[in-house]
Structure 1
Amino acid sequence: MDRRELAAFLRSRRERVTPADVGLPAGPRRRTPGLRREEAAQLAFISTEYYTRLEQARGPRPSPVVLAGLARALRLTDAERAHLHHLAGVPPGTPPGPSREVRQSILDLLRRLTQAAAIVTSATIEVIAWNDLAAALMEDFSALPRRDRNLVRRAFLGPPFGGRRLYGVSDVEHFARHSAARLRAAAARYPGDPEVAGLVRELREGSAEFARLWDSHEVAVGSVMRKTFQHPLVGPVTVNCDVLDITDRDQQVVIYTAEPGSPSEQALRLLSVIGTQRMDVPT
């Protein structure tokens, strides 16, 4: 355990995190850059005294549980999490589960894509971030409970959206095969995560189609680069699909764009105005 380097690293990471990053008020008398020690300790579920001793290079070796709490509280990347473990003399283990924290730069990117629909999915194909046009094209994810944002669950177990399976996409059968393969690969990467295991169990018990695909043991199926959404208001919207891998978070950014000058581009422009409001039902 390198106490001095650990202390300096914790202090530098704490000073980088703003109160707004973790939902805390800044307050009028804040002098400390970033979080206060007591705030970092509270977020990590440890005592302020213990955290202070760590930053003063006087603390005992943190346990894996404490290190996990510190990594979460200080919003460390996977590389920083591994570095924290090495400084503490505790080899980093396999991440406990798929990351659902999206980098701020990726969130900024989504907001800047005003003419494209874009989502971020986790390793289990849960939609964990989206822009306004994606919500208008697919559905208002902010109005859904978290479990219904998982596209694998939606593809195999529903509920249907407007009577259509998975937004009426033209490649739904291919997506089903692709998502089952991705989920199998994720289950191998996170063998100890109860949420991943529970999702697989739920899908196997609730869908004969998923059980058949799961038993085929595929772990890699190519993505479809073009698909058509059947939207209840603007009709068919054909889009190109580009996927960007965020390897350090095991996430993907999926960007949907229409051909310039096409009816689908006009449909996306209309959706950007309509947003998520429903005009096909009485108010």
Structure 2
Amino acid sequence: MKIAFFSDIHFNLPALQAVLEDIDHQKPDAVYCLGDLVGYNIWPDEVAEEIRKRHIPTLAGNYDEGIVLHSNDCGCAYKDDVEKANGAVSIAFTNQKVAEETRTYLRSLPRHLSMEFRFADRDLKLLMVHGSPRKINEYLFEDRPEKSLMRIHADSDADILLLGHMHKPFHRKLSYTLEDKKAFRHAINIGSVGKPKDGDPRACYLFMEFDTRLVSTDPEAVCVTFRRVEYDVEKAAVAVEKSELPNAYAKALREGK
């Protein structure tokens, strides 16, 4: 089974188009999007249309929900007053830019998606969320204490927990005891297509492979590849600079921050 997952496009049409082209070359069995189509750039309706015409199952992100509610709050976390002020400009611009048809589409998106597969020894449950299973805008960073992350994982009743929202890809394998054997849960952040924050400006998405003949006690049963895709970053950055959006967002695109 081969599945592609992507998230956090944030209106970045050139990045999305490059990722979808790369996904086509990989020929996965399925494709899913974990949300946050909107914010921070100028192509809201074009981004939504690219996803809708491919019939890609998609979650609502926190920014998407803010736009659905015509809110002036995207549920984002800001480090300082400058970031907060820039964020206010961004969500006001986004609310003005989004067509009602796109807003209606965003309103229809679910918060969670789950799948269940039969492994050799038991069922394997995969849960897709935007922020966390508890809250759409909760940040589950890679350095979260294992005990805390395992508790969230166990409460969600998932073997594989797929996350967006942080814009920083990671894969953590969490061991636990299952019927006197060592088994594994997987917490995976799939990174960001349109606004990476890990120092790499290339678009990021996740390609997952697993073989249902394997067992849950094998930590390598789930094979994860973070694919980085080159795209026209300068086109996206210049589009920001020519708009009413803060130039800080263009700088962030160029630096992957």
TM-score, with structure 2 as normaliser: 0.28
Report which of the two has the higher share of strand: 2
More helix by share: 1
What's the TM-score once normalised by structure 1's chain length? Answer: 0.26
Structure with higher RCO (Cα < 8 A, 6+ apart) = 2
**Larger radius of gyration between Structure 1 and Structure 2:** 1
